[in-house]
Chains A and B, each alone.
Chain A
Amino acid sequence: MGLGSDMYRQQILDHYKNPRNYGELEEPTFSHTGENPTCGDTIQIDVVLADDEETIEHIAFSGDGCAISQASASLLTQQLQGMTLTELHELDRDDVIDMLGVEISPMRVKCAVLAEKVAQDGAKIHTGDIEIDTTQTE
């Protein structure tokens, strides 16, 4: 039925109930937070870069919100482990939705892409490419 039921396949529920890489890192190279103001979803992403200042050595997330936002963050941190910042910036919203493996109803896309946007903005702040306090998705 509808768009919604497919959204709650086992993978998403599993990552929501048992989030991977959940928590905060001791000494992150960078840490950034974001929110969907209208949903109240919040995500913080902590990253430790390898000595090359490019490879993601450790990544963790923490936050609060709906299953879609939290499961996306969990899945994303799994995927980003070992990736480079260049590869991170190459991800777009379709990649996240592919990763979720379900159709996301249009009104929920902002929940799905929050973690990705937070990770990308965090990296850009770290490299001095942008200056913002928090990320917001609409």
Chain B
Amino acid sequence: MKASTTDPLDIEHIRADFPILQREFDGTQLVYLDNAATSQTPEPVIDTIAEYYRTYNANVHRGLHQLSQEASIAYEEAHDRVAEFIGASGGREEIVFTKNTTESMNLVAYAWGLAELGPEDEIVTTQMEHHSSLVTWQQIGKKTGAEVKYIQIDEEGYLDMDHARELITDDTAMVSVAHVSNTLGTINPVSELADIAHDHGAYIFVDGAQSVPHQPVDVEAIDADFFAFSGHKMCGPTGIGVLYGKRELLESMQPYLYGGSMVRKVTYEETTFEELPWKFEAGTPVIGQGIALAAACDYLDEIGLERIQRHEHELAEYAYDRLTAFEDITVYGPPGNDRVGLVSFNLDSVHAHDLSSILNDHAVAIRAGDHCTQPLHDTLGTAASARASFYLYNTREEIDALIEGIDDARELFA
């Protein structure tokens, strides 16, 4: 029986699904707090990959033999499963498999952006974008002459919505915004931004890399025109990302990559393209990874995203409270009760990289650096920060281990 949405997670049970969490380093058990970078992979997903390679590995859409039929059906149905997972009622036709969020972003930037944008257009994005979106729009801006504008963040790390309303005008062609900041942990009001964008005839691209793994997402409730995320951050394998696009938009766009699989009829002079979503999946696609991503959706749904979200909220609040109790620690982003399960911070006396190396001695894995948000770090006035990020299998005891490691670093550098 599926647990109710408010039942706490059975952590012991969940941890048993993730063999990697049993790893020890010199007798100390791994404390994995780098989930915003990539999540660990549960047995059912690993089994799905193994089963695919063991029993029905074949190229899709091509062969008429049994294996190819099995692989094709599983691969196509994986698109439907992912569509269902994010509330895309159009099913597979609105779901393109890519290799990651970054490629999904580039697909839209090239297939839509290069074709549609010109010097009279503006792209509005935010100060807290990941490089995957910031660099992409910046470069598309250079190629097309479109101007890129950045919605400011306020002192607490929230988007300044007055500034958003100021920047988004009838000249705006695209609003591109992270659903959840991978550095600040801020949850952005994306459906409000979608309304503002649509009021001005602009499209909205939502980067869901940090939301889809951790909370229920409904792309139609948001009214996103495009939505992207990565499999490897949501219990799936690496090498698979998703681009959701409204059907009529995807239909109107030209392909981004050309080649086999995406074509219908080819002559020396002309080519007609396949239907959605295949016209955007040139060459042999990410078959095993796509099928495994559907298994990751099953895994997360089975546990329940509301429950996962609640669990991470509790961990985030606990970590926030423990970290902010120290005067020599600066925590970036909104208050503990209004953020997702990640906390970026700096310890006054210890550089983030040194801290991370010392935590590594405690078998505590965190991220240290710019988290692919260099301009945001400039805005925050620091080159680097340390980031602990949580997922369904993390515990309070692991946050205690983090704090102990920090205490150790402080002492070493005193």
Decide whether A and B assemble into one complex.
yes
Chain B's interface size range is 20 to 34
* Contact bitstring B9-30, A, C-beta under 8 A = 1, else 0: 0000000000000000110100
| Residues of chain B with a CB closer than 8 A to A64's CB | 383
Q: Counting CB contacts under 8 A, is B369 at the interface?
A: yes
Q: Are A8 and B28 in contact (CB under 8 A)?
A: no
Q: How far is the CA of A73 from the CA of B352 in the complex (A)?
A: 19
B65 → A minimal CB distance (Å): 45
Interface bits A110-134 vs B (CB < 8 Å: 1, else 0) = 0100000000000000000000000
Distance, CA A16 to CA B358, complexed state (A)? 15
In the complex formed, the residue of A with least CB distance to B369 is A38
| Contact yes or no, B369 A1, CB < 8 A | no
The one of A4, A16, A40, A108 in contact with B384, judged by C-beta atoms closer than 8 angstroms, is A40
Docked Cα-Cα span, A1 to B357, in Å, equals 11
Residues of A within 8 A of B370 (CB): 38, 40
For B26, the chain A residues whose CB sits under 8 A away are: 1-2
In the assembled complex, how far is the CB of residue B402 from the closest CB belonging to chain A, in whole angstroms?
15
With contacts A2-B25, A38-B369 taken as known, whether A65 is within 8 angstroms of B361 at the C-beta atoms is no
- Taken together as a complex, chains A and B put the C-alpha atoms of A65 and B353 apart, in Å, by 9
Interface: A105 (CB within 8 A): yes
Question: Any chain A CB within 8 A of the CB of B412?
Answer: yes
Considering only residues 330-358 of chain B, those with a C-beta below 8 Å from chain A are: 350-354, 357-358
- Give the residue among B357, B361, B362, B384 with the most A Cβ atoms within 10 A: B357
A7 within 8 A of B: yes
Beta-carbon nearest neighbor of A65 in chain B: B351
A62 to B413, CA, bound (A): 20
Closest A residue, CB atoms, query B412: A8
Chain A residues near B384 (CB, 8 Å)? 39-40
Q: Is A68 among interface residues, defined by CB-CB distance under 8 A?
A: yes
> A66 contacts which of B25, B353, B374, B412 (Cβ < 8 Å)?
B353
Question: Which residues of B sit under 8 angstroms from A16, Cβ to Cβ?
Answer: 413
Tally of chain A residues near chain B (CB < 8 A): 23
Is B360 in the interface zone, CB < 8 Å from A?
Answer: yes
A70 to chain B, nearest CB (A): 9
Let me know if A4 and B351 touch, CB within 8 A: no
Q: Mark A56-67, 1 if CB is under 8 A from B, else 0.
A: 000000001111
| Chain B residues with CB under 8 A of A5 | 358, 361
When chains A and B are docked, how far (Å) is the Cα of A7 from the Cα of B25? 17
CB distance from B145 to the nearest CB of A (A): 27
Q: Is A13 an interface residue (CB 8 A)?
A: yes
B361 and A67 form a contact (CB under 8 A): no
Nearest chain A CB to B304 CB, angstrom units = 36
Given contacts A4-B360, A13-B412, A40-B383, contact A108 B25 (CB under 8 A): no
Segment 43-71 of A: residues with Cβ below 8 Å from B: 64-68
Which B residue's beta carbon lies closest to that of A104? B357
Inter-subunit contact B383/A39 (CB<8 Å)? yes
Residue of A nearest to B351 (CB): A66
Q: List 22 A-B contacts (CB under 8 A).
A: A1-B26, A1-B28, A1-B363, A2-B25, A2-B361, A2-B363, A4-B361, A5-B361, A7-B357, A8-B412, A13-B412, A38-B369, A38-B370, A40-B384, A41-B383, A65-B351, A65-B383, A66-B352, A68-B354, A105-B357, A105-B360, A108-B357
**Further pairs besides A4-B358, A39-B353, A108-B357: 6, Cβ < 8 Å:** A2-B25, A2-B26, A8-B354, A13-B413, A40-B382, A66-B353
